Amino acid sequence: MSPILRYLLFAWESIIYGPAYGYLNQLIRVPEPLDHNRAWDLITEDWPPLVNWLRKHYPPTFMRKLLLRRILNQDHSLGIENHYDVSNEFFCQFLDKKYVAYSCADFIEDNDTLEDAQTRKFEHILSMLRPKAGEKILELGPGWGSMLNAVYAVTGDKENLVGYTLSQQQIEYNKTHGGFNVELRDFITTEYEKEGFDAIYAVAVWEHVRPSEVSMLLKKLYEALKPGGRLIQHFFCLTTDTVPISCLAGQLIFPGSQLSSHRFHVRAFEKAGFQIHQQTVHDYRPTIRAWFENLTSNRERAIEAAGVREYNRFIIAFAATWKFFDDGEANVYRFELRKPVAKTNLTDDQIRRSKTATAPL
């Protein structure tokens, strides 16, 4: 594409989708590998006040909603294929070697490696999930098998462990690495066996569930769990209820996905009947920076696996997502949810009083 055409596209996209979208897409389209340090600084450093104002306010909310509505009409499988079926080899150039996990790790100590931080994250999720041999366990969106491996290491039971993904490449990967049973299924539209699972978990997956799908899917998951069953959720969500501009630019990275707010999710969990037993908050920025450094160190192999455009897209994605978290637009949360053992026949007033009562009702 000629430089003139690229600038015309930049101007056009900036008018329609806003300057943040236009600018990021312009960088992605650069025909040679980006100077990664310069790209990181350009995106993550403070912008001049007027540019920053435009970045956060244009296009106005009604236009954002109209544009998103059009994009969100597409089938989920197209968005998943666009992001995850780039090339398994490409993802291996920046994810950790131990788990191949594509989710926020728990960096705590100054000298933590990505592997240390991922190990800490999986240990924490396992402490919430408490998997046992013989239990029927379902993973929504297992990626390259990170958590399947962690669960199997505890239970030694592959028979009762299953994953649903929309990525054909991930199915192949899980077949050849670990021999896990991963099925090609859209976990949003699929039918679940009633009370078919002891535990269901999702790590960095709920971000793909659109606001209009959340309640319906939670109802399905609630019914799919046995009484007392666990639902473990690790995902990032917006800190406010407004639709930020970043949701439009986010379509360059995860087309067809739309985030909801933390408040929205908490209400939806409770409305579906789940009890929230634990909730923790995590910082995504060190993980994103570690992936960025790995990808740029393995630039040649990454480009060989997926081409310059994908390399540039992920460089931009890491810098823009880091900025998104640094601006406080979103946080990563981990929830341990439980389906109550039996439906209570207490009235709302009795439940309210029981929360403060010192003696049993």
Ligand X SMILES: C[S@@+](CC[C@H](N)C(=O)[O-])C[C@H]1O[C@@H](n2cnc3c(N)ncnc32)[C@H](O)[C@@H]1O
For residues 165 and 340, give the distance between their C-alpha atoms in angstroms, rounded to a whole number.
28
List Cβ neighbours of 83 (8 Å cut-off, separation of 6 or more).
Answer: 253, 254, 255
The two tokens of residue 53 are 């104002």
Residue 194 has φ and ψ, to the nearest 5°, of -65, 130
- Residue with Cβ nearer ligand X (129 or 204): 204
* Distances in whole angstroms, Cα of residue 183 to Cα of each of 26, 67, 70, 159: 37, 33, 29, 14
Q: For the CB of residue 196, give the shortest distance to ligand X in the complex, in Å.
A: 17
CB 234 within 8 A of CB 332: yes
Min dist. Cβ of residue 73 to ligand X (A)? 15
Nearest CA to 333 out of 104, 137, 144, 80 is that of: 104
Smallest gap from Cβ 240 to ligand X, in A, equals: 23
CB-nearer residue toward ligand X: 27 or 101: 101
- Minimum distance from residue 220 beta carbon to ligand X (Å): 12
Residue with Cβ nearer ligand X (92 or 204) = 204
Residue 247 CB, nearest approach to ligand X (Å): 17
**Which is closer to ligand X, CB of 23 or CB of 259?**
259
- Residue with smaller CB distance to ligand X, 58 or 331: 331
Q: Which is nearer to ligand X, 26 or 88 (CB)?
A: 88
Nearest approach, Cβ of 165 to ligand X (angstroms)? Answer: 4
CB of 78 to ligand X, least distance (A): 11
Look at strands 225-238 and 275-282 and give their pairing: unpaired
Q: Which is nearer to ligand X, 164 or 274 (CB)?
A: 164
Cα angle: 78, vertex 84, 90; to 5 degrees: 145
In 84-128, DSSP assigns E strands to none
Cβ neighbours of 243 (radius 10 Å): 18
Distance, CA of 43 to CA of 352 (rounded, Å): 48
Of 296, 309, 340, the closest CA to residue 29 belongs to 309
Question: Token digits for 184?
Answer: 């090609």
User: Could you list the residues that contact ligand X (CB under 6 A)?
Assistant: 76, 80, 84, 101-103, 141-143, 146-147, 164-167, 170, 186-188, 203-205, 208
